[in-house]
Amino acid sequence: MIRKHAFFEGKVQGVFFRANTRDTAREKGVKGWVKNLADGRVEAVFEGPEKKVNEVIEWCKNNQPHARVDGVKVEEEEPTGEFDRFFVKR
């Protein structure tokens, strides 16, 4: 189990980035959350098996259907196991 905290920059708000991230994370069994930031970025926390977490982050960077990710900052953190699902944080 790993935990990664990510910040996505680019055209990532108003393009279903959060909903698509939630759906993809759930399909892969990754837990955590995703939310918009006031500065135009999207922030997310992913917890789960290393391979699956990395797959979701790569999908977010390269395969979001309507978004354009120009940059991503990912920090590794200690997993907490606090999540029972992946959700959009408001």
**Catalytic residue among 3, 18, 22, 41, which?**
18
84 DSSP 8-state letter:
S
90 is catalytic: no
Q: Residue 53: phi, psi to the nearest 5?
A: -60, -45
Name the residue with tokens 């995703």.
Answer: 34
Sign of CA dihedral 7, 9, 13, 15: negative
- Active-site residue identified among 3, 22, 36, 90: 36
Helix (H, G, I), strand (E, B) or coil at 60: helix
Is 63 a known active-site residue? no
Catalytic residues, which ones?
Answer: 18, 36
